[in-house]
Amino acid sequence: MVPRLHGITEARERRARRLPYAELLDRLEAGPPPWSPTGLPGAGYELGNLHEFFVHHEDVRRPQDPTPRRLDAALEDALWRRTRLLAPLFAARARGLLLRLEATDGRVVEVRRGSRPAVVSGTVGELFLWLWGRRDAARVVVSGDGVDLLSRVHP
């Protein structure tokens, strides 16, 4: 994500690929090192890690079991807070679109960039996956005159 750091991250990825899978899981379970900003407790952890862990967990899980999993209320609330925060940013290039994200539990986020409506509805977790670009995996219903503009909604 940071072009100047690409060489460093690429070297670390190469080293990580040589590690046994069990060791990678141990490192993930141990959490980030103390010097990492993603290791901050509380809100810092959620802001830095929530979307990464949720989306990539589903990336790994869905090929084996495409059925959406039942999420606990705390995780749904955290995903919804992030959805409300990021939907306007991700839809910034979708000029002309009136995007409405409707959760099956009644929560709604509306992003006004125009007058052509598109509605994406599903559970909170599925809406989150859709918003993060997992359009083929997310079990959502898409409708409205502005559906063609949804390709401009990007993470």
The tens digit of pLDDT for each residue in 83-123 reads 999 999 999 999 999 999 999 999 999 999 999 999 999 99
Q: Name the strands in the sheet holding 116-122, side by side, starting at the edge strand that comes first in the sequence.
A: 108-112, 97-103, 116-122, 141-143
For residue 100, what is the enclosing H or E element?
Answer: strand 97-103
- What is the rounded distance in angstroms from the CA atom of residue 70 to the CA atom of residue 124? 10
Model pTM greater than 0.85?
Answer: no
Q: What gap in Å lies between CA 13 and CA 23, rounded to an integer? A: 14
147 burial level (CB within 10 Å; 0-12, 13-18, 19+): middle
Report the interhelical angle of 73-90 vs 43-61 (nearest 10°).
90
Of the candidate ranges 49-58, 74-83, 99-108, 132-141, the one whose mean pLDDT is the lowest: 49-58
**In this predicted model, what pLDDT tens digit does every residue of 122-136 receive, in sequence order?**
999 999 999 999 999
